[in-house]
Structure 1
Amino acid sequence: MQDLDLPLPLPYLRVDREGKITGSSALAQERFDLSKGHINSIIDEESIKKLSQFRWVSGLDSVKFELNMKTKDRALALFDVHLQWDLDDHANMILLPKDSANEKLTQKLMAIQHRLAETDFELLEKKEELEQVLRRLDELSGPFIPLSGELCMIPLFGDITADKINTISESCLQSVFKGNYEIILFDLTAVGEVRTDGVEKFIQLVKTLSFMTGNVIKLIGIKPDLAKVLNHYHLEQWVEFNHSLEQELRVYLNH
């Protein structure tokens, strides 16, 4: 048997068609007892049968299979075997310990999980930042504007959504509670798309403000489409519709 000085990181054996080991690497000699010089001496009976299936395979294509092999440290150890026949009719066998392969696979999976966890955390941070920005935009879309000690105005901008009205409601109710406002104007001139859940939240806000002040809430700048939607809710008890902010302010100043 020839000692092969090959710079391989895994055990390597060279075997002829009869199973005689004709060459081995230093790692193979460290791992296996090769004193008998035959491949059958370092594999179990079931693996001998499996290996015999590839003993007469022709061609130069590489094949991969598993063998239970006898090492110096363990009675049986599972190996991935990469076998390829060469032009000299010898099988070149590279032996990869299965536990080593599993360990490397586990390490790779752990590394992937770590990267995914970092990515998830970064996405969570971005999501929180985006939510804060959207909340701030909602707050700016319905600012509370005191016009006098008795009169205040809340202009709404953009689409009427449930999230936006919820955000506006918090600051609006606090401001009205702290003040002594008798007249509350909602300017809906710049309203865009109106969503059903947003309208329902808006009506809840209007009714709450009406109860707090004891007066009807005045809605100005309403577009025809929005007027049709609001008419379905029969709000005559809580709201009053006016055409423009200018007309409402003129009435208030002449009062």
Structure 2
Amino acid sequence: MERLNLSLPLPCLKVNRDGRIVSYSALAEDHFDLSKAHIRSLVDEGSISKLGRISSESGPVPVKMELNMKTKKNPLVLFDVYLQWDTENRATMMFVQKDRSNEELIEKLASIQIRLASTDFELLEKKDELEQVLRRMDELSGPFIPLSDTLCMIPLFGDITADKINAISDSCLQSVFRGNYEAILFDLTAVGEVHADGIDKFIMLVKTLNFMTGNVIKLIGIKPNLAKELNHHHLDHWVQFNHSLKEELSTYLHH
């Protein structure tokens, strides 16, 4: 076994038909342990069967194959191997290490996906917490206040949204169901913007309360923007309007 006196950019071996290494390049010596002087000693067991092609191939046409090789730095490295026989029945083998950039990219993507999955889970937890806080805020924006055995009030604060009305409806309906209220007042003085889906839910709640009690629902302190929305729904049979909470309460206090 002799060293080739050629400056080659890739590891190169020359082997005979039996697989014995006849000569090698400097880079081949750097990459592989050539002490056994046989190509089989450099190839992983899973690729040994491919070595049969070395002895079966003939002629000057180059052949390409993939082999898992044992290197000095790594016990398993995938190479593209280019093989060509010469007239002396010696095969020149050039070894090109497979580009690991794709594998490294896949590993990085997998790592990113794991981090994203973890982040998504954390964000989902935060989202759930935020939704609970927002729901609690909606519930507190329409508290049910019993003023007497027969009189109750629900002041609404902030924008009228579907989420807010949904949040207050359960406690409101349950409280009215458990009581014996003859008058229900909605104080709308502190209402902000009015959302279309919110007003639909609000009207449904008002009509349900009217059906449960058989009494007209009192709407207090309505602003022009809310009055405009309510006028489209023709609520005369279900509600009465009063601009002043003080006036409405004084009516019941003097009974």
TM-score (normalised: structure 1): 0.69
Q: Does 1:13 align with 2:11?
A: yes
* Contact 2:149 2:179 (C-alpha < 8 Å) held by counterparts: yes
Q: Within 1, Cα distance between the matches of 2:69 and 2:202?
A: 80
Q: From the superposition, tell whether residues 190 and 154 of structure 1 become closer, same or farther in structure 2 (CA, over 3 Å).
A: same
**Within 2, Cα distance between the matches of 1:119 and 1:30?**
46
Matched-pair identity in %: 61
Matched, 1:68 2:49: no
Please name the residue that 1:120 is paired with.
120
Give secondary structure in 2 for the equivalent of 1:24: helix
Aligned residue number for residue 175 of structure 2: 175
Q: Say if 1:129 and 1:79 are closer, same or farther in 2 by CA, change over 3 A.
A: farther
Per-residue CA deviations over 1:181-208 (Å, capped at 9, x if unaligned) read 1110000000000011100100000000
Distance change (3 Å), C-alpha of 1:180 and 1:105 = same
> Secondary structure at the residue paired with 1:120?
helix
Q: Relative to 1, partners in 2 of residues 1:13 and 1:197: Cα closer, same or farther, differing over 3 Å?
A: same
SS at match of 2:181: coil
Deviations 1:109-128 (A, max 9, x none): 32222111101101100110
Describe the SS at the equivalent of 2:154: strand
Q: Would the aligned equivalents of 1:166 and 1:201 in 2 still touch at CA under 8 Å?
A: yes
Does structure 2 conserve the Cα–Cα contact (< 8 Å) formed by 1:2 and 1:23? yes
1:203-230 Cα deviation digits (max 9, x unpaired) = 0000000011110000000011211211
| Alpha-carbon distance in 1 for matches of 2:116, 2:180 | 54
Counterpart check, 1:23 vs 2:29: no
Q: Could you say which residue in structure 1 is the equivalent of 2:39?
A: 33
Corresponding residue of 2:221: 221
From the superposition, tell whether residues 26 and 182 of structure 1 become closer, same or farther in structure 2 (CA, over 3 Å): farther
2:183 is aligned with what amino acid? I
Distance 1:157 1:119, change over 3 A: same
Unpaired runs of at least 5, structure 1: 4-11, 35-40, 51-66, 82-92
Change (3 A) 1:144 1:70: closer
8 Å contact from structure 2 (residues 156, 187) kept in 1: yes
* In structure 1, C-alpha distance between the alignment counterparts of 2:80 and 2:28, rounded to whole Å: 16
Matches within 5 A, 1:1-255: 1=3, 13=11, 22-26=25-29, 28-30=31-33, 33=39, 68-69=65-66, 79=80, 95-97=96-98, 104-255=104-255
Q: Distance in 2 between matches of 1:143 and 1:102?
A: 60
